[in-house]
Amino acid sequence: MSKTGSKEERDLVNMLWDVGFAAMRAPASGGATKRPLPDVLAGNGELYLAIEVKSSRLEHIYIDNEKITNLKEFSKIFGSKSYIGAKFIRKPWRFIKLEDLHITPSNNYRVNQELAFTKGIDFDEMIEESKQTKLL
């Protein structure tokens, strides 16, 4: 993983701690294990989040199909809500539900800034939406 990706993960973990979640970077993400682990895992005893973090200086972020499959599998087993945390440099965080991702012709996934800022939600919205979904 690039230094930028690690920095973004650490920043997100700190943001989650600041709003009352215990949060951590999954040290085995990025190929150190065959297990389907997210980049960031967070919970507050009632709500659990599994987030695959992607950052870019470019207009698009590409995500391998395997990453999404693994995130879905982990979230199903763990009982967490799953998001792609997209951080375009010099732009605010956006969190995209997996069903809103664009599927490429090669059956991978793409998030561009337009999708991130039209269908994605900001950090506060993700926390609030996740709480509302948990209440239903």
Q: Give catalytic residues, as residue numbers.
A: 29
Burial (CB count within 10 angstroms: exposed 0-12, middle 13-18, buried 19+), residue 14: exposed
Tell me if 40 sits within 8 A of 16, measured CB to CB. Answer: yes
Which amino acid is present at 108?
Answer: N
